[in-house]
Amino acid sequence: MSISDENARYREKMQKRKDMQDQEVASKTVEKGILAVHTGPGKGKSTAAFGLALRALGHGRRVVVVQFIKGAWMTGERSALERFEDLLEWHTMGEGFTWETQDRSRDIAACERAWEVAKEALKRDDVGLVVLDELNIALRYDYLPLEQVLSDLKDRPAMQHVVITGRNAKPALVEAADLVTEMTLVKHHFSAGVKAQAGFEF
C-alpha cells in the first residue's frame, strides 16, 4: 500500500470517528451543577479537586474551599490559588488527621463547624464551585449525619458544582453523585521510604 493510500485510509477512519464524536457531543443537552466525588486509596484526590478549582477560577467563577480533617498547614495549592483572592475563599477547619488528634468529640466539633461554613457556601448563587476536601473521612467516621449532608447538597443552587474528596466514600453519596472517580493505588513512593516533599505532596 502506498503512503498516499495509507493517508487516505487514515483520513477516512478519523472522519468516521469525528462524525461519531460530534454526534455524541450534540446529543448532550443538559446543563446543571455537577456533584463529583474523588475517592479510593490512590494519591491525587485533593490535587484533582484543586485542579477543578483552578479551572473555575480561570473562568472567573467564585470558589469556596472547605477543608475537613486537615490542619492549618500551608500547602502549595493554597498558596497558588490564594493569588485569586478576589474569587477564592479558603477555610481550613480541621485540627489535623484523626490519628493525630485522638479525640473523637473534638474531631466531631471541628467537622460540625466546618459543615456550617460549607452549608453557607452551598446556599450561595454567586459560588460556582465548592470544594469539600476530605469530607468523605468525616462521613466515614460518622462525625456528620450523612442524611443531612445529602439533603444540603441536593438543595444547593442548580448550577453550582461541588467536588468532595477522601477515601471510602459512602455508598449513598456515590449514588447521589453525578461523577465518581476512584483513584487506584498501583505504586507509591512512601513504601520505598521517600518522605512527603514540598511541591509534590503539599
Cite the beta strand spans of the chain per DSSP E: 35-39, 62-67, 88-92, 127-133, 161-165, 179-182
| Predicted pLDDT of residue 115 | 97
Per-residue pLDDT tens over the stretch 87-131: 999 999 876 555 556 678 888 999 999 999 999 999 999 999 999
Where are the domains positioned within the chain? 1-30, 32-192
Please report the DSSP string for 125-180 in residue order: TTEEEEEEETHHHHHHTTSS-HHHHHHHHHTS-TT-EEEEE-SS--HHHHHH-SEE
What is residue 14's three-state secondary structure? helix
What is residue 65's three-state secondary structure? strand
| Predicted pLDDT of residue 28 | 80
Tell me how far CA of residue 135 lies from CA of 6, 21, 58, 88, 164, in angstroms: 53, 36, 25, 19, 6
| Predicted pLDDT of residue 199 | 84
- The cell for 10 is 487514515
Q: How far apart are CA 176 and CA 194, in angstroms?
A: 37
CATH 3.30.1520.10 fits 32-192, yes or no: no
| Predicted pLDDT of residue 55 | 97
Low-confidence ranges of the chain (pLDDT < 70): 71-73, 95-102
| Predicted pLDDT of residue 190 | 80
CB neighbour class for 26 (10 Å; exposed up to 12, middle 13-18, buried from 19): exposed
| Predicted pLDDT of residue 120 | 98
Q: How far apart are CA 167 and CA 94, in angstroms?
A: 16
Q: What is the mean pLDDT of the chain?
A: 91
| Predicted pLDDT of residue 168 | 97
